[in-house]
Structure 1
Amino acid sequence: MHAYLDLLRDIRDHGAVRTDRTGTGTRSLFGRQLRFDLNHGFPLLTTKKVHFKSVANELIWFLKGDTNTAWLKEHGVSIWDEWSTEQGELGPLYGAQWRRWPTRDGGEIDQLAYVLDCLKNRPDSRRILFHGWNVEYLPDETLSPQDNVRAGRMALPPCHLLYQFYVVDGKLSTLLFIRSSDTFLGLPFNIASVALLTHMLAQQAGLGVADVVVSIGDAHIYSNHADQVEMQLSRTPGPLPTLKLLRQPDTLFEYNFEDFALEGYNPQAHISAPVAI
């Protein structure tokens, strides 16, 4: 994960000071890219502990098409609580767009089912992608997340918004575009999540795995994460863990956390930091 640490260092040393929606302030760079070969290990940060169970269960929740926090809470994940209504609703974000993209005639499109069909039957297609940037349901920045949900919009616009897939020599690669990346807190989570999704899709399509490429628009460090970034940059990365899929469900949408085994994950201590709301 040296490339990730290099990005943090680059933002710290060369980032522009900018304002942001949360009022916290950031240092920011525009247009950066990271690449990870999944055959060299699972890209989970070792210079601080990342809660893999939360990564996996959030992804499973997305794949279910769920947009209420109740299932997450049942599985020990609280990362969406600050943005939900009292009823746990988050509006038509991520999973809703991935699995139930609304059509003009009142129907729905399952984008993940489309991706899987392409991977199995048309792996050379240049159209194997899905995204969540549905302009009609983007939130009004002048309203709170909860008020946006009550108005039928997303609590937050998608940050990791487009996934494209590429198959060569029987191996699957994924490119993820992130429009806005909290590089200290959010990016390690996103890297692990897209890597896990790549393994799951590859298993379902009978493919091996190759690269995960993460392209970032606005890569930033929040001003109240400066000390935590220094602590992380003072640490030396260790060997990457190995991911094993213990079971192959009938569909992409039937995985459980217990289907994954992360071997050899020996991270350094967790580094706490506040979330910008």
Structure 2
Amino acid sequence: MKTQPEQQYLDLMDQLLRNGDERIDRTGVGTRSTLGAMMRFDLSDGSFPVITTKKVFWKAAVKEMLWFLTGGTNIRDLLQENVRIWTDWPLAKYRKAAGSDISQESFEARILEDEAFAAEWGELGPVYGKQWRRWAGADGREYDQVAEVIATLKSNPTSRRMLFHAWNVPELPQMALHPCHMVYQFHVSSRRHDGAAQSADDRKQHLSMAIYQRSCDVMLGLPFNLVGGAALQAMVAQQVGMEVGDLVWMGGDVHLYLNHLDPAREQLSRTPRPMPKLRLKRRATSIDDYHIDDFEVEGYDPYPAIKADVAV
């Protein structure tokens, strides 16, 4: 019997529960942690790696990726799309600075209503999108790493230099959160689908992608990172006229927060269901032209959501 691809995720969670090194972390919540993990998902049949053992709001994860691709760094853009996953950091900063216990709902409402307030308190600093699309070079120029990768995929698909990252050392102190999923690397291969002999000209080129994540919240962050990564891979593959291949995820400091242990045990009690399928409903004119309505996910049948708090 073929193992469900999701079992890799559950095995990692179980390993952390049983053998993770318990420690106090930056947030003060504490974690069970290990160094080094890897998962591989074959997406060539259209599979979309959305965790099924709890409900994952995959549209929010895709919207986050689309926001990264705009180069945006303010939560107002996300809130306008009803995505609240980045609010905790500016909210905590505002509460501390203002000496206020303002609710998240009131803070978000003010961000949406007051553009000047959003400019001051909704800004996250030069996080992912800024580095991906507008890396500030020492020469005074801005570098669009994503556009460069796409251009190289078209002109030199066997290059080993097709990657982008967000770990811009001089700008780290200005970021609300240091980059976690920090490196994306691409690889092109020819694959035979049915095992029959084929000429090189007949083989379809498949675009695989690796994500290196230096710090990984397995309960909350990783399901979103897999969805966002797979969405990015599908978009880039379409833009360069290739099929989707493997998604390879690699983790550095991989951890469960101590307030996620019981939610993790609940999730481990569930049996994975088949992965859904992803279809892009149209071919966008460029990597900047995708919208959430372009993504169609079929066959997603998850268990109910599991509540777990974000560690800030």
TM-score (norm 2): 0.83
How do 1:57-72 and structure 2 match up within 5 A? Answer: 57-72=63-78
> Which of residues 83, 90, 112 in structure 1 aligns to 2:124?
90
SS at match of 1:221: strand
> Which of residues 122, 138, 142 in structure 2 aligns to 1:104?
138
How do 1:45-194 and structure 2 match up within 5 A? Answer: 45-84=51-90, 87=118, 88-139=122-173, 153-169=174-190, 170-194=205-229
Aligned to 2:243: 208
**Alignment length (residue pairs):** 264
Amino acid at match of 2:227: A
Amino acid at match of 2:20: G
Check if 1:262 corresponds to 2:297: yes
Q: Distance in 2 between matches of 1:234 and 1:103?
A: 49
Aligned to 1:143: none
Instruction: For residues 105-164 of structure 1, give each alpha carbon's deviation from its aligned partner in whole angstroms, at most 9, with x where no partner exists.
Output: 21100000000001111100000000000000112xxxxxxxxxxxxx111100000000
Amino acid at match of 1:27: R
Check if 1:19 corresponds to 2:54: no
Shift of 1:251: 0.5
Q: Distance in 1 between matches of 2:289 and 2:215?
A: 30
Check if 1:29 corresponds to 2:22: no
How do 1:220-239 and structure 2 match up within 5 A? Answer: 220-239=255-274
Q: Distance in 2 between matches of 1:206 and 1:94?
A: 26
Larger radius of gyration: 2
Q: Which moved more, 1:36-45 or 1:1-10?
A: 36-45
Q: Distance in 1 between matches of 2:66 and 2:31?
A: 31
Q: Distance in 2 between matches of 1:224 and 1:83?
A: 18
Shift of 1:216: 0.4
CA contact (8 A) 2:44 2:243 kept: no
Aligned to 1:149: none
Q: Distance in 2 between matches of 1:267 and 1:120?
A: 37
Give the unaligned 5+ runs of structure 1.
140-152
Amino acid at match of 1:160: H
Q: Distance in 1 between matches of 2:150 and 2:243?
A: 14
Amino acid at match of 1:134: N
Shift of 1:248: 1.0
Aligned to 1:142: none
Q: Distance in 2 between matches of 1:272 and 1:166?
A: 36
Q: Distance in 2 between matches of 1:243 and 1:267?
A: 15
SS at match of 1:254: coil
Identity of aligned residues (%): 50
Shift of 1:39: 2.4
Q: Distance in 2 between matches of 1:64 and 1:119?
A: 20
Instruction: For residues 197-252 of structure 1, give each alpha carbon's deviation from its aligned partner in whole angstroms, at most 9, with x where no partner exists.
Output: 11110000000011011110011000000110000000000011000000111100
Aligned to 2:103: none
CA RMSD of aligned residues (A): 0.9
SS at match of 2:225: helix
Q: Distance in 1 between matches of 2:233 and 2:65?
A: 11
Aligned to 2:98: none
SS at match of 1:253: coil
TM-score (norm 1): 0.94
Give the unaligned 5+ runs of structure 2.
1-5, 95-116, 191-204
Instruction: For residues 153-180 of structure 1, give each alpha carbon's deviation from its aligned partner in whole angstroms, at most 9, with x where no partner exists.
Output: 1111000000000001100000100000
Check if 1:271 corresponds to 2:306: yes
Amino acid at match of 2:299: G
Q: Distance in 2 between matches of 1:79 and 1:261?
A: 22
SS at match of 2:236: helix
Amino acid at match of 2:183: L
CA contact (8 A) 2:32 2:258 kept: yes
Q: Tell me which stretches of 4 or more aligned residues in structure 1 moved more than 3 Å.
A: none
Q: Distance in 2 between matches of 1:191 and 1:199?
A: 12
Q: Distance in 1 between matches of 2:17 and 2:262?
A: 11
Amino acid at match of 1:59: M
